[in-house]
């Protein structure tokens, strides 16, 4: 029976974002244990609104809330679906339910289990006469309810979507802390029903407008109306003996048979539904598209514009049809040889493979032969296999470049484990976010990394790179050291090698343009990168490579040449000195030196300390490379003087595609004589391709990608070694490939802005977010900065836009020599010097002691941060450091 006085009602008028005309009550015959009763549901339904507008829906989205929310949670989806349908987009009817005992639906005397709630939802869908196709979307405990219906009705299903939910919790793992508290004896009734504590705690997980917070509280004003909140918590299937455990197990197993499109959205700051729960869902729905909204939490629907993301996804995955929605872009060329091929070829070779200048002494650094390296890789690979590390498992490597990292990386690749590489240059918060987001199965690290993993609660089994005292192993939760794993693998056979198109690595970006993203590479793509490097730079067995640039520090063995890592902190490029580079060149007889721009700057600055023997070693270098950020011609010339017989190159690339184009210093000097503005990064390498998507008046890249000369816009690239995608960032992937589906092959929007010249060379003019949108049209920053940096006393400059989009003015922020002590507005004299240096109108000039740069490269200027600072200063705020 329905509890007297607590029957369904319509929500009160005036709730923000909720159109009362979309609310209605529906009577439904009870099902399962509730058979023989009629229950009244409150729902939000756009069906009549669409019909009144003469719009025919292609299907219905059934949205199911969790605890302790109600259908109000889905108002953004309701409103966005109507707005888009009115604008001519594919129309979806949305039915957002208030589950029985919740929201403004009936309160009853029945204890509702998970199985009953799935049956309740089925009865409502039948009563509404929804024929299909149906898309289910659920949040929190609405996830299992909606997915439970989906598993039982696959023939009527178009897609499934879930926000922050779970369908399985390991029996040997405790419930998340908030749920342990909520379900504790003596706390459950008081916290969930007797008081509003559970409701208050949930709503505090997001920064809600007070009126929105009040709207969520509206259905739960009394103890009697909160009985469903307590009932939901009491029904959490935490153990095998709980009443709802069989239903949860049934639906979670059934998910493996669902082959409809699936979208999983997550706010990572959720204290209840953890990364492990998302990992489990991905395991059950391996074809699912996944997106993590960094910075969002449990109430994702209140924190991020999820509704448009959902509807865009439906347009792409469902409305467009399977063929149009999922272009294959299959690379049908023969798979390149795997990265470990060179180790196989040289496993009987006693020549040096790897030199670690930071180990041993300056005169006798640690040297590892090809024979030793191949044997160590085999032992570690077999040992990891014994430990239970399998193909597809993610292994986070928190080990600095050197022989140990090289061996364990190739061992992981050999058995098909996916290596996760995120360096300390991200900072502790960025590194933690990257590692936790990658959900590693195994973490291999040195003491500092293992301590961080323990303190910050990173997932994964723990392996120590070096042997630790037994007490430290126990305290850090370490299972074994790499030495122990190698002993366990000695003499054992290796598993079957992975497929060329299996995932091989997740390489995290620098985080200089937002939260670091994990670029996923397959074995084919990593091998293609190796081939591109070898062919373009003519790398052979006797070439020798010195690299102070972390992404390439591990490719020496794959290239079949000896490699040396200079004595430096690779996460802080400015620690590299000219003497350290010379020592590494002498030890390895290297013909190629590969450094980041920040490292080059310090190498040049420390050149006076070089002795005659060190200078003689540098004179033997034939190729010098610097990449990671644009490198100015003056700095290249200074580096060239240190290595006078080397050809200086500045390859252009990014974590998503480590080699795109290349240019030499002579080619740059030739290009500098042209009228082109920006930094010339040369022509595409190998099978790489570059196009430009032109900018509109608001600085957006909207044009069809072209190879026409002189068109300024976003740089769009393609190459065999372009990443497969981003790890669990489906929406970011879609944006990176927006409007590129019609191009043959895999393409990527880089976010860089530039143009192609008449010779087919690419010029970089800045980043897309840094384009200045003046009333005269978009202006790119790099050309202005180059003009200003030619003025006397200017070390570096950043051009930024101040004001509203479309009417911005140009401000220039400069770093001087000698450095200023206090930031602020430049003097009138300096302002005139800067204005005279460039033909574009400069509204204001500001000075800072040092321009802020990114963490990893120490060279990419943070123009977005400077723009916000300049706006505040010019608005009259007291200048502080940007």
Percentage with pLDDT > 70 across the chain: 94
pLDDT at 4: 53
The answer, yes or no, to whether residue 182 has pLDDT greater than 60, is: no
Cα–Cα distance list, 172 to 236, 278, 332, 358, 388 (Å): 16, 17, 45, 43, 18
Regarding whether 449 and 314 lie in a shared domain, the answer is no
- Assign 3-state DSSP to the chain and report helix, strand, coil percentages, each to 5: 40, 20, 40
Give 378-405 pLDDT, tens digit per residue: 999 999 999 999 999 999 998 888 899 9
Q: Which of 801, 787, 790, 800 is nearest to 861 (CA)?
A: 800
The answer, yes or no, to whether residue 171 has pLDDT greater than 80, is: no
Whether residue 596 is contained in a domain is answered as no
Read off the pLDDT band of 327 (50, 70, 90).
Answer: very low
Map 579-610 to HEC letters.
HHHHHHHHHHCCCEEEECHHHHHHHHHCHHHC
Regarding whether 843 and 786 lie in a shared domain, the answer is yes
Write out the H or E segment, with its range, that includes residue 623.
Answer: strand 623-626
Rounded distance between C-alpha atoms, residue 596 and residue 626, angstroms: 5
Regarding whether 381 and 244 lie in a shared domain, the answer is no
pLDDT at 425: 66
Give 263-287 pLDDT, tens digit per residue: 999 999 999 998 889 999 999 999 9
Cβ count near 528 (within 10 Å):
24
CB environment 358-380: b (16+ within 10 A), e (fewer): bbeeeeebbbbbbbbbbbbbbbb
Question: Mean pLDDT over all residues of the chain?
Answer: 91
Q: Which of 800, 758, 540, 571 is nearest to 670 (CA)?
A: 758
Is residue 137 classed as helix, strand or coil in its secondary structure? strand
**Tokens (6 digits) for 429:** 């918060």
Beta strand segments in 270-316, E: 289-292
The torsion angle over the Cα atoms of residues 135, 140, 142 and 147, rounded to 10 degrees, is 50
Beta bridge partners of 682: 762
Regarding whether 44 and 127 lie in a shared domain, the answer is yes
Whether residue 265 is contained in a domain is answered as yes
Regarding whether 777 and 756 lie in a shared domain, the answer is no
Whether residue 347 is contained in a domain is answered as yes
Beta bridge partners of 654: 657
Residue 257 is part of a domain; what is its CATH number?
3.40.50.1820
**Tokens (6 digits) for 807:** 């009417």
pLDDT-wise least confident of 157-166, 248-257, 279-288, 552-561: 552-561
Regarding whether 82 and 105 lie in a shared domain, the answer is yes
Read off the pLDDT band of 330 (50, 70, 90).
Answer: low
Regarding whether 853 and 744 lie in a shared domain, the answer is no
Regarding whether 183 and 145 lie in a shared domain, the answer is yes
Regarding whether 33 and 103 lie in a shared domain, the answer is yes
Domain-ending residue, one of 470, 497, 522: 522
pLDDT at 186: 56
Read off the pLDDT band of 441 (50, 70, 90).
Answer: very high
Write out the H or E segment, with its range, that includes residue 442.
Answer: strand 442-445
Whether residue 462 is contained in a domain is answered as yes
Is residue 641 classed as helix, strand or coil in its secondary structure? helix
Strand-pair category, 689-694 with 824-825: unpaired
Give 769-802 pLDDT, tens digit per residue: 999 999 999 999 999 999 999 999 898 899 999 9
Regarding whether 775 and 765 lie in a shared domain, the answer is no
Whether residue 605 is contained in a domain is answered as no
Is residue 561 classed as helix, strand or coil in its secondary structure? coil
Rounded distance between C-alpha atoms, residue 301 and residue 350, angstroms: 60
Write out the H or E segment, with its range, that includes residue 25.
Answer: strand 23-29
Within 8 A by CB and 6+ apart from 833, the residues are: 791, 792, 793
The torsion angle over the Cα atoms of residues 778, 294, 296 and 310, rounded to 10 degrees, is 70
Alpha helices in 686-815 (DSSP H): 730-736, 781-789
Percentage with pLDDT > 90 across the chain: 74
DSSP tag of 69: -
Q: How many domains does the chain have?
A: 4
Strand order in the sheet with 418-421: 478-481, 461-464, 442-445, 394-398, 418-421, 503-508, 518-522, 725-726
Residue 722 is part of a domain; what is its CATH number?
2.30.38.10
The answer, yes or no, to whether residue 672 has pLDDT greater than 90, is: no
Whether residue 559 is contained in a domain is answered as no
Whether residue 754 is contained in a domain is answered as yes
Torsion sign (Cα): 448, 454, 457, 459: positive
Average pLDDT value for residue range 572-594: 90
Residues 788, 813: contact at Cβ < 8 Å? no
Show the domain range for 674.
654-769
Q: HSE on the CB side for 621, CA within 13 Å? A: 32
DSSP tag of 752: E
Read off the pLDDT band of 665 (50, 70, 90).
Answer: very high
Residues 430, 406: contact at Cβ < 8 Å? no
Residue 862 is part of a domain; what is its CATH number?
3.30.300.30
Rounded distance between C-alpha atoms, residue 522 and residue 529, angstroms: 11
The answer, yes or no, to whether residue 322 has pLDDT greater than 80, is: no
The torsion angle over the Cα atoms of residues 875, 880, 881 and 882, rounded to 10 degrees, is -20
pLDDT at 712: 96
Residue 434 is part of a domain; what is its CATH number?
3.40.50.12780
Residues 384, 419: contact at Cβ < 8 Å? no
Regarding whether 355 and 460 lie in a shared domain, the answer is yes
pLDDT at 358: 84
Domain-ending residue, one of 473, 503, 522: 522
pLDDT-wise least confident of 140-154, 357-371, 699-713, 798-812: 357-371
* Concatenated DSSP letters of 493-557: PPPPPPPTTSEEEEEE--STTSS--EEEEEHHHHHHHHHHHHHHHT--TT--EEE-SGGGTT-HH
Regarding whether 292 and 218 lie in a shared domain, the answer is yes
Read off the pLDDT band of 877 (50, 70, 90).
Answer: confident
Residues 267, 164: contact at Cβ < 8 Å? yes
Distance from first CA to last CA of the chain, Å, rounded?
64
Q: Which of 436, 484, 483 is nearest to 460 (CA)?
A: 436
Helices and strands (H and E) in the chain: how many: 32, 36
Strand order in the sheet with 289-292: 23-29, 38-45, 93-97, 60-64, 134-139, 157-163, 262-266, 289-292
DSSP tag of 851: -
Domain-ending residue, one of 496, 522, 548: 522
pLDDT at 509: 84
Strand-pair category, 418-421 with 394-398: parallel
pLDDT-wise least confident of 173-182, 274-283, 634-643: 173-182
CB environment 196-214: b (16+ within 10 A), e (fewer): bebbebbbebbebeeebbe
Give 407-420 pLDDT, tens digit per residue: 999 999 999 999 99
Cα–Cα distance list, 201 to 64, 206, 213, 235, 298 (Å): 21, 10, 12, 19, 11
Average pLDDT value for residue range 8-16: 95
Placement of tokens 């590489």 in the chain: 421
The answer, yes or no, to whether residue 46 has pLDDT greater than 80, is: yes
Total residues belonging to the chain: 882
Whether residue 635 is contained in a domain is answered as no
Rounded distance between C-alpha atoms, residue 492 and residue 471, angstroms: 30
**Tokens (6 digits) for 79:** 């409103």
Residues 384, 411: contact at Cβ < 8 Å? yes
């Amino acid at each position: 029976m329905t509890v007297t006085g607590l029957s369904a009602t319509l929500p009160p008028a005036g709730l923000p974002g909720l159109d009362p005309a979309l609310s209605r009550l529906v009577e439904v015959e009870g099902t399962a244990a509730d058979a023989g009763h009629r229950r009244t549901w409150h729902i939000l339904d756009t069906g009549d609104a669409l019909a009144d507008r003469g719009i025919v829906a292609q299907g219905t989205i059934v949205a199911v809330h969790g605890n302790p929310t109600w259908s109000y949670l889905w108002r953004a989806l309701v409103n966005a679906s109507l707005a888009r349908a009115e604008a001519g987009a594919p129309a979806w009817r949305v039915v957002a339910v208030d589950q029985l005992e919740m929201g403004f639906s009936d309160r009853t005397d029945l204890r509702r289990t998970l199985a009953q709630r799935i049956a309740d939802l089925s009865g409502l869908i039948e009563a509404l006469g929804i024929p299909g196709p149906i898309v289910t979307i659920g949040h929190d405990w609405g996830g299992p309810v909606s997915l439970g219906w989906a598993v039982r009705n696959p023939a009527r299903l178009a897609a499934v979507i879930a926000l922050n939910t779970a369908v399985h919790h390991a029996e040997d793992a405790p419930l998340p802390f908030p749920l342990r508290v909520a379900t504790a004896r003596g706390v459950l009734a008081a916290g969930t029903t007797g008081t509003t504590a559970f409701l208050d705690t949930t709503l505090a997980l997001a920064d809600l407008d007070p009126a929105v917070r009040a709207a969520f509280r509206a259905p739960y004003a009394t103890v009697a109306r909160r009985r469903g909140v307590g009932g939901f918590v009491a029904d959490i299937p935490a153990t095998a003996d709980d009443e709802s455990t069989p239903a949860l197990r049934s639906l979670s197993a059934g998910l493996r048979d669902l082959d409809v499109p699936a979208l999983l959205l997550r706010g990572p700051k959720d204290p209840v539904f953890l990364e492990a729960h998302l990992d489990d869902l991905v395991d059950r729905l391996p074809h699912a598209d996944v997106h993590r909204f960094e910075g969002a939490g449990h109430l994702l629907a209140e924190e991020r514009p999820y509704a448009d993301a959902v509807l865009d996804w439906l347009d792409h995955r469902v409305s467009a049809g399977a063929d149009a929605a999922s272009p294959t872009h299959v690379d049908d060329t023969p798979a390149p040889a795997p990265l470990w091929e060179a180790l196989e070829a040289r496993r009987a070779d006693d020549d040096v493979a790897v030199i670690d200048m930071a180990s041993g002494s300056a005169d006798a650094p640690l040297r590892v032969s090809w024979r030793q390296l191949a044997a160590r890789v085999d032992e570690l690979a077999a040992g990891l296999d014994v430990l239970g590390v399998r193909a597809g498992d993610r292994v986070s490597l928190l080990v600095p470049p050197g022989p140990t990292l090289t061996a364990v990386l190739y061992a992981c690749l050999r058995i098909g484990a996916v290596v996760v590489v995120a360096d300390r240059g991200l900072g502790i918060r960025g590194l933690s976010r990257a590692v936790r987001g990658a959900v590693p199965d195994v973490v291999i690290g040195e003491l500092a990394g293992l301590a961080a993993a323990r303190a910050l609660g990173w997932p994964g089994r723990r392996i120590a790179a070096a042997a630790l005292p037994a007490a430290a192993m126990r305290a850090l939760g370490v299972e074994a050291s790499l030495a122990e794993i190698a002993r366990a693998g000695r003499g054992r056979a290796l598993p079957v090698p992975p497929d060329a198109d299996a995932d091989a690595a997740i390489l995290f970006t620098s985080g200089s343009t937002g939260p670091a993203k994990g670029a996923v590479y397959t074995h084919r793509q990593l091998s293609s990168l190796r081939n591109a490097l070898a062919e373009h730079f003519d790398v052979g067995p006797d070439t020798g490579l010195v690299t102070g640039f972390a992404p390439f520090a591990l490719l020496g063995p794959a290239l079949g040449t000896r490699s040396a890592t200079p004595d430096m902190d690779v996460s802080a490029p400015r620690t590299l000195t000219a003497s350290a580079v010379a020592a590494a060149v002498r030890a390895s007889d290297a013909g190629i030196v590969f450094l980041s721009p920040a490292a080059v700057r310090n190498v040049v600055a420390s050149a006076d300390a070089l002795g005659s023997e060190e200078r003689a070693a540098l004179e033997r270098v034939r190729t010098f490379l610097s990449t990671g950020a644009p490198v100015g011609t003056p700095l290249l010339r200074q580096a060239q003087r240190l290595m006078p017989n080397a050809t200086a190159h500045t390859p252009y690339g990014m974590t998503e595609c480590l080699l795109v184009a290349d240019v030499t210093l002579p080619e740059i000097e030739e290009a500098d004589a042209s009228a082109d503005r920006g930094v010339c990064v040369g022509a595409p390498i190998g099978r790489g391709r570059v196009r430009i998507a032109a900018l509109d008046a608001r600085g957006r890249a909207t044009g069809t990608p072209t190879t026409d000369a002189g068109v300024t816009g976003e740089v769009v690239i393609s190459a065999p070694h372009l990443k497969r995608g981003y790890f669990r960032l489906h929406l970011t992937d879609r944006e990176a490939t927006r409007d590129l589906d019609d191009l043959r092959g895999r393409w990527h929007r880089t976010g860089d802005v530039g143009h192609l010249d008449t010779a087919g060379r690419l010029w970089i003019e800045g980043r897309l977010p840094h384009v200045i949108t003046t009333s005269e049209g978009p202006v790119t920053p790099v050309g202005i900065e180059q003009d200003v940096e030619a003025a006397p006393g200017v070390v570096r400059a950043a051009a930024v836009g101040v004001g509203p989009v479309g009417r911005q003015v140009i401000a220039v922020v400069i770093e001087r020599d000698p450095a200023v002590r206090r930031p602020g507005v430049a003097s009138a004299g300096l302002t005139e010097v800067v204005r005279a240096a460039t033909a574009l109108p400069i509204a204001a000039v500001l000075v800072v002691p040092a321009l802020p740069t990114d963490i990893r490269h120490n060279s990419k200027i943070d123009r977005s941060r400077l723009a916000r600072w300049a706006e505040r200063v010019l608005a009259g705020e007291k200048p502080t450091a940007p």
